[in-house]
Amino acid sequence: MAGAGATTTIRSSLFHAQHPLNQYHYAEGSAYRCDACELRITGIGFRCGECDFDIHAACLGLPVSISLAKHSREHDLTLTRLKASRWCDVCKETSHAGCYMYLCAPCNYDVHPRWWRWVVVTRRHTRHDLMTISKKNKGTVRS
């Protein structure tokens, strides 16, 4: 069906190596869920219609491994496709087989990819930022 509008097709060796993924516009309130992070997709994402595989554009850009400030800095967490349901150590929600989580195998510690952004934010919270925030409570300082 050529000429149905410009569609972007990409390949993701990490998430869906077997087929190209087509850019897809997910309507507001769509029931599609991302196969990487299990969150609902609205707006631009990528889809393989053949496998019913859907993924956020942002999730395609997830790094293969991260280091998490909340976890040991000596361990990297690796993006892993789940073979069984696992429990996220950050939000305590369960993810299901076939989805992706960041795992630290030695500690059996796992985190949803959705927390990756949160990790970046955490890293930016320097001591200075925290002091600035507390200054907003003017006049309520008690000893």
Q: Is 86 in the site for Zn ion (CB under 5 A)?
A: no
Binding mask 5-44 for Zn ion (x = CB under 5 A): --------------x--------------x-xx-------
Residues 52, 73: contact at Cβ < 8 Å? no
Can you tell me the distance from the alpha carbon of 32 to that of 26, in angstroms, rounded to the nearest whole number?
A: 8
Rounded to whole angstroms, how far apart are CA atoms 59 and 39? Answer: 10
H, E, C per residue of 108-127 = CEEECHHHHHHHHHHHHCCH
Binding mask 104-143 for Zn ion (x = CB under 5 A): x--x----x-------------------------------
Q: How far is the CB of 36 from Zn ion (least distance, A)?
A: 5
Q: Are 44 and 27 in contact (CB under 8 A)?
A: no
Among 26, 48, 68, 102, binds Zn ion (CB under 5 A): 48
Stretch near Zn ion under the rule CB under 5 A, chosen from 3-11, 78-86, 101-109, 117-125: 101-109
